[in-house]
Amino acid sequence: MRMPAHDPAAAHALARRAADLGVTLFDTADSYDLGRNEELLAEALHPYPDGVVVATKAGQCHPGDEWIPLGRPEYLRQQAELSLRRLRLDRIDLFQLHRIDPEVPLADQIGALKQLQDEGKVRHVGLSEVSVDQIVEAGRITPVVSVQNRYNLDDRRWEDVLVHCERHGIAFLPWLPIAPSVRPGSPVAGVARRLGATAAQVALAWLLRRSEVVLPIPGTSSPRHLEENVRATDLELSDEDFALLDRPAALL
């Protein structure tokens, strides 16, 4: 959850409202606002309600406008320790490698996460923006329980990864699950009109029906959008609507 760091009160209210609405997975990262996002989440929800899973990420730094993979084992371990402190946790439920660093052997990066598991500081390990081969390679070192790749109606580049996750019972967390734009005359817009819903809700409903392993993580800083997104779980697409949206270029 990306919360407005410039307005702590609003950030706290947003996180608490999400929990009140039944949201149980809160996904953040060490690089979001230089760790401030993790602090805000803890300020809002700690002690965390029963059933809430806190997921965070390390392995990518954000010094300005650039996102730079950084997967040296000592850095990943340092960031895990900092995340534990900021989140006020003894163990991180889900610790994800934010990006694979091409300059560091993958085995070394996953090995650092496995060591954190062995020490009881991390429960589960996840990956982000990875291929099937990379998931398989990482899985030889420690079980991979989740994959966070960009995926939405307009961007299905990682379809093979989703299929792999389905086959192996790995949670698939699509980031940017709502495509940036929808043409007024598109199938998405048409389905939304018929159902009295928003295009964003239809996009999320399609993802939820697409696979049982899909857990969309739409980011928002708006209470209105938060509530709108949560209501998408109650939206039922007909077989015809799903088939229409499942075609390529559903937004066009």
Residue 152 makes CB contacts below 8 A (sequence gap 6+) with 174, 176, 177, 178, 179, 203, 207
Report d(CA 231, CA 218) in Å as an integer: 13
Report d(CA 166, CA 178) in Å as an integer: 21
Contact between 100 and 128 under an 8 Å Cβ cutoff? The reply is: no
Query: Among 32, 48, 75, 151, which one carries the catalytic annotation?
Result: 32
Read off the amino acid at residue 78: Q
Report d(CA 30, CA 66) in Å as an integer: 15
* 223 phi-psi bin (left φ>0, alpha ψ -120 to 50, beta other): alpha
**Which among 175, 58, 158 has a CA at the least distance from the CA of 109?**
58
Q: Is 32 a catalytic residue?
A: yes
**Which among 128, 63, 123 has a CA at the least distance from the CA of 100?**
128
- 24 secondary structure, DSSP code: -
Pairing type for strands 68-69 and 60-61 reads antiparallel
Torsion, Cα of 226, 230, 232, 234 (10° steps): -150
User: Which tokens belong to 174?
Assistant: 């699509």
Catalytic positions are: 32
